[in-house]
Amino acid sequence: MSEAQRRQEPKFAVIGAGMSGILAAIKLKEAGYAFQVFEKADEVGGTWRENTYPGIACDVPSHLYSYSFALNPDWSHFSSPGGEIQTYFEDITKRYEVGASIRFGDPVVRCEWLDGRWEVETSAGYRDVFDWVIAATGILHHPSYPDIGGQASFEGALFHSARWDHTVPLDGQRVGVIGTGSTGVQITGALAHRASHYSLFQRTAQWVLPIEQKAYTQDEREAFRTDADLLRKIHDELSIAFNDGFATSVLDGDSEMIQNIETQCRENLETQLPDPELRERLRPNYRAACKRLVISHNFYAGIQHPNAELVTTDIERIEARGVRTTDGRLHELDVLVLATGFHADQFMRPMTIKGRDGRLLDDVWEKRPSAYMSVAVPGFPNFFMMNGPNSPVGNFSLIQTAEMQFAYVMKLVESVRRGDLDVAIPEPEAARRFEEERVEAAKKTVWATGCRSWYLDDRGIPFAWPFPFSRFRAEMAEPKLEDYERAS
């Protein structure tokens, strides 16, 4: 094929078959492009395939956490369980017939820009060349194991929350969980009453926003099934409420809505925890929504179960029989779960990504990952990320974000096809300007008001998109071609 023909009929590699990768596959298929999806695991689903811990759910309302083109009338709850979300992605993959384009069980190990195209290689040695690469590898997929000694000496079952061992019995067992992020909180609500003794090891208390876990009735689901306008209306209303509400409020640490959220969290704490001693140990000493806000209908009930214990003394080490805290006490356990989060700065890595002039992404990101407009990196032509660095991970619905980012990439594909650009590659100066502006805005967000969280980079600056939803939508709707290298 000649270069001119290739420009008109480009071929795409999509890395990852989670929420963003499935979306890319569906849209590329609809547009009639040739593409190949690479998936390291044996199933689609990404985070929903990997996280199967008891109590897993998505606290983003289900009718918003759905593709805009495939709304689902059958969600069981306002915030539906993880298994149901996984089934949704599996069903969509079948319904849109993109499964056959996914190469399963073979992770990509290298992407290299050679002679104006991307050579992609997998761990099994499969190689092919593509004109565009879309990295849809997700953000929270490298478990973070705590730096606590003695893990190998534990004689019970020990695993990370994202690597749940379902062969291990839980009922009537002595279960310990380290971590009180969204994961540890959901596990506590679901598991505390099942264990003979449940120990939750808390390093930092969390603000907990209460939510009513509404189950949709058969009648309501039937109404959603038969009335597409009603289903669209609930999606759109949630979208407006979320994007004009929470997503805007976090941009200013002193905003009225953040103060309202803090008031609701405080009332939740004061009214749901009658024991003053437990209440004080669960009271955070930082601003609500500084860390990723925990939303829960059952955490406080879980931690107040007669079998549950909140441990706030620091952990000294893990021993054969349990966890030893610095007060000398041994908390004896049969099962120990590390709900200790993820390395949020890895993205596609450890894959080798070599751009123009042999430039390695690892070198470019040596200090920290960064991306122009959250999607592209100077020096890496026709290489785009979905939910990559500087994406709105803490504020908007990730599905809406991915849909807008994908539409942005398609606009650039059109620019290359028209000949406005030789390849889509952001100018370093444009990326520098964007990053400078982004950092200044990030410092004003609630995430920067003084807490430890995975939203912060190595400098303590929030790495997420710090501008309003309206700006993200506008930027993604029309790429600024002046920020890209022009055709020669």
Query: Of 127-135, 139-147, 231-239, 358-366, which part binds ligand NAP (CB under 6 A)?
Result: 139-147
394 and 472 in contact (C-beta within 8 Å)?
Answer: no
- The verdict on 391 binding ligand NAP (CB under 6 A) reads no
| Ranges within 169-188 binding ligand NAP (CB under 6 A) | 178-184, 186
Binding mask 33-62 for ligand NAP (x = CB under 6 A): ------------------------xxxx--
Query: Of 121-129, 146-154, 238-246, 466-474, which part binds ligand NAP (CB under 6 A)?
Result: 146-154
Among 71, 148, 168, 230, binds ligand NAP (CB under 6 A): 148
313 and 327 in contact (C-beta within 8 Å)?
Answer: yes
Query: Of 5-13, 29-37, 142-150, 167-175, which part binds ligand NAP (CB under 6 A)?
Result: 142-150
- The verdict on 18 binding ligand NAP (CB under 6 A) reads no
Among 418, 432, 452, 486, binds ligand NAP (CB under 6 A): 452
In the complex, the smallest distance separating the C-beta of residue 267 from ligand NAP, rounded to whole angstroms, is 22
| Ranges within 197-226 binding ligand NAP (CB under 6 A) | 203-204
Name the residue among 390, 359, 356 with its Cα closest to residue 376.
Answer: 390
Cα separation, 82 vs 161, whole angstroms = 13
Total binding residues toward ligand NAP, as defined by CB under 6 A: 26
| Ranges within 299-338 binding ligand NAP (CB under 6 A) | 315
Burial 335-360 (b: 16+ CB within 10 A, else e): bbbbbbbbebbbbbeebebbbeeebe
In the complex, the smallest distance separating the C-beta of residue 292 from ligand NAP, rounded to whole angstroms, is 3
Smaller CB distance to ligand NAP: residue 382 or 390?
390
- The verdict on 341 binding ligand NAP (CB under 6 A) reads yes
CB-count burial class (<10 Å; 0-12, 13-18, 19+) for 171? exposed
Smaller CB distance to ligand NAP: residue 13 or 56?
56
- Residues near ligand NAP (CB under 6 A): 57-60, 140, 146-148, 178-184, 186, 203-204, 292, 315, 339-342, 452, 454
